């Protein structure tokens, strides 16, 4: 089969690989019809995730058709159109039993924190992902769901990570009626988080980024007030000024570790307040939330990011909520919101590319060229 293959930082190729086989009776093999490139894939692409081995196929956002099932699989049949959450999880361990699917104990013996994620380095279990013609899906009775007939394929694809994660970010922010919510990052996750914030009762939603085309999208897609941080010496001071010098009630970090070289060229280091490589958006979040407020972190920080302003967070009495999203927990509610039209997930898709051109997709998405928000790989594009 043809598959995206990682060959080192900023180097991805499409190569031939054997079609994956059933390795365990709980496995299914899925023929991928749609896959997406995620902001999380950029962390891998930029070489920021430890133990990302050359030869790995990325892709934790995919849907497709069941091609084969192992002997013990009950819930899926060959020919089913399925959506697969980005988490690989067993469904029965201590953590899965508590809905913490992203922290499953059984899928990733090397990890102390995260569970399994498709196509996300050996730090996350070493599973090949779905940016390929076929993918092996372990615990096939647990994660995947048959896509309802009424659901559009691209909408289903965006329900495998980006939309549930944005929604989860807003949930973790613990928004109360009428509150002011700031979202750092106007990528797919931030856009969905901002739209979700209204749903949870926000009275004011403010989105911060430096990419004007994404802020314009936030204004229409999420009806947000937007500010381009490149236009301010200190965006935190600006945020304080527009929130009665108190700060926002809730802040969502939908940025995470940001290492894109192109990004750093946009503004000077002084403007960024680079502090020995500490996470910028997270520190801005801690600085711009009011005392007693909540910071929700769904932006992903790899194991090497530890220089958090923890002392300030403690002294402000903040609640910090964070996790990788347990995708399937969000599905029942989100299926309803997609069905009733509150969310049209594929509104944010800007690029549809064939697998053979995926390297170009990575480049465009990483360098934020061509007004790219969400590139997806379509089997017959
Ligand atoms: P993306 O790269 O498309 O978007 C990130 C956005 O943040 C960009 O528009 C960028 O310009 C902006 N940005 C960078 N620095 C900023 C700053 N200091 N302040 C404000 N904006 C800033 O990525 P995405 O797909 O939207 O994902 C966002 C983050 O969420 C990534 O870190 C990704 O790994 C993470 N993620 C987490 C989960 C989870 O389960 N927790 C799931 C999916 C994605
Ligand atoms: Zn993702
Ligand atoms: Zn488990």
Taking the domains of the chain in order of start, what are their residue ranges?
Answer: 2-161+326-378, 162-322
SS (H, E, C) 52-117: CCCCCCCCCCEEEEEEEECCCCCCCCCCCEEEECCEECCCCCCCHHHCCHHHCCCCCCCCCCCCEE
Ligand nearest to the CA of 89: 3
* Residues forming a β-bridge with 4: 14
Q: What integer pLDDT is reported at residue 271 of this predicted model?
A: 40
Q: What integer pLDDT is reported at residue 267 of this predicted model?
A: 37
CA-proximal residue: ligand 1, atom 34 (nearest): 40
Q: What integer pLDDT is reported at residue 279 of this predicted model?
A: 63
CA-proximal residue: ligand 1, atom 39 (nearest): 324
Ligand 2 (ion): which residues have CB within 5 A?
38, 40, 161
Rounded average pLDDT per 10-residue block, the chain, 381 residues: 96 98 98 97 87 96 98 98 97 92 83 83 94 98 97 98 97 97 97 97 97 97 96 94 97 80 39 48 91 90 58 60 83 96 96 98 95 93 52
* Burial of 206 per CB tally in 10 Å (0-12, 13-18, 19+): buried
Rounded CA gap, 163 and 167, in Å? Answer: 6
The predicted complex's ipTM stands at 0.99
Contacts 24+ apart (CB under 8 A), 103-110: 103/323, 103/324, 107/138, 107/139
Q: What integer pLDDT is reported at residue 262 of this predicted model?
A: 42
Q: Which residues contact 295 (CB under 8 A, 6 or more apart)?
A: 173, 250, 251, 252, 253, 282, 285, 286, 289, 313, 318, 319, 320, 321
Q: What integer pLDDT is reported at residue 315 of this predicted model?
A: 55
Q: What integer pLDDT is reported at residue 301 of this predicted model?
A: 74
Q: How many residues does the chain have?
A: 381
Rounded CA gap, 289 and 138, in Å? Answer: 41
The distance of Cα 161 from the centroid of its chain, to the nearest Å, equals 6
* Maximum alpha-carbon separation in the chain: 62
Would you say 222 and 256 are in contact if contact means Cβ atoms under 8 Å apart?
no
Rounded CA gap, 354 and 302, in Å? Answer: 29
CA-proximal residue: ligand 1, atom 33 (nearest): 40
- CATH for 162-322? 3.40.50.720
Rounded CA gap, 14 and 176, in Å? Answer: 47
Q: What integer pLDDT is reported at residue 88 of this predicted model?
A: 96
Q: What integer pLDDT is reported at residue 352 of this predicted model?
A: 98
Q: What integer pLDDT is reported at residue 50 of this predicted model?
A: 82
Q: What integer pLDDT is reported at residue 270 of this predicted model?
A: 37
Q: What integer pLDDT is reported at residue 325 of this predicted model?
A: 82
Q: What integer pLDDT is reported at residue 74 of this predicted model?
A: 97
Ligand 1, residue 40: give the atom nearest the CA. Answer: 34
Q: What integer pLDDT is reported at residue 269 of this predicted model?
A: 36
Task: Return the CATH fold of 2-161+326-378.
Answer: Quinone Oxidoreductase; Chain A, domain 1 (3.90.180)
CA-proximal residue: ligand 1, atom 18 (nearest): 281
Ligand 1, residue 191: give the atom nearest the CA. Answer: 26
* Burial of 128 per CB tally in 10 Å (0-12, 13-18, 19+): buried
Pocket test for ligand 1, best of 36, 37, 39, 251 (most atoms within 8 A of CB): 39
Ligand 1, residue 301: give the atom nearest the CA. Answer: 32
């Amino acid at each position: 089969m043809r598959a995206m293959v990682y060959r080192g930082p900023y180097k991805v190729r499409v190569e031939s690989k054997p079609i994956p086989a059933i390795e365990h009776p709980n496995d299914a093999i899925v023929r991928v019809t749609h896959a997406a490139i995620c902001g999380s894939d950029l962390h891998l692409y930029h070489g920021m995730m430890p133990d990302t081995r050359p030869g790995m196929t990325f892709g934790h956002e995919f849907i497709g058709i069941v091609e084969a099932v192992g002997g013990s699989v009950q819930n899926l049949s060959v020919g089913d159109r399925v959506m697969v959450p980005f988490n690989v999880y067993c469904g029965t361990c201590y953590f899965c039993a508590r809905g913490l699917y992203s922290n499953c104990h059984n899928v990733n013996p090397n990890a102390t924190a995260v569970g399994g994620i498709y196509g996300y380095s050996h730090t996350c279990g070493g599973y090949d992902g779905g940016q390929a013609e076929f993918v092996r899906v372990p615990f096939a009775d647990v994660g995947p769901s048959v896509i309802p007939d009424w659901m559009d394929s691209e909408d289903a694809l965006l329900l495998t990570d980006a939309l549930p994660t944005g929604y989860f970010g807003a949930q973790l922010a613990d928004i109360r009626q009428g509150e002011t919510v700031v979202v750092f990052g106007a990528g797919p996750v931030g856009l969905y988080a901002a739209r979700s914030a209204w749903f949870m009762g926000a009275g004011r939603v403010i989105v911060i980024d430096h990419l004007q085309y994404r802020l314009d999208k936030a204004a229409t897609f999420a009806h947000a007030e937007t500010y381009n941080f490149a236009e301010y010496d200190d965006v935190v001071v600006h945020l304080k000024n527009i929130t009665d010098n108190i700060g926002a009630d809730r802040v969502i970090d939908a940025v995470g570790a940001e290492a894109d070289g192109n990004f750093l060229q946009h503004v000077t280091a002084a403007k960024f307040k680079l502090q020995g490589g500490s996470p910028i958006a997270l520190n801005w979040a801690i600085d711009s939330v009011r005392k007693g407020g909540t910071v929700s972190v769904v932006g992903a920080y790899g194991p090497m990011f530890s220089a958090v302003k923890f002392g300030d967070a403690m002294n402000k009495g903040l609640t910090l909520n964070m996790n990788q999203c347990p995708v399937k927990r969000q599905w029942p509610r989100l299926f309803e919101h997609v069905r009733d039209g509150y969310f049209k997930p594929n509104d944010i898709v800007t690029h549809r590319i064939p697998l053979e051109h995926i390297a170009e997709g990575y480049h465009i998405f990483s360098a934020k060229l061509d007004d790219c928000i969400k590139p997806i790989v379509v089997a017959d594009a």
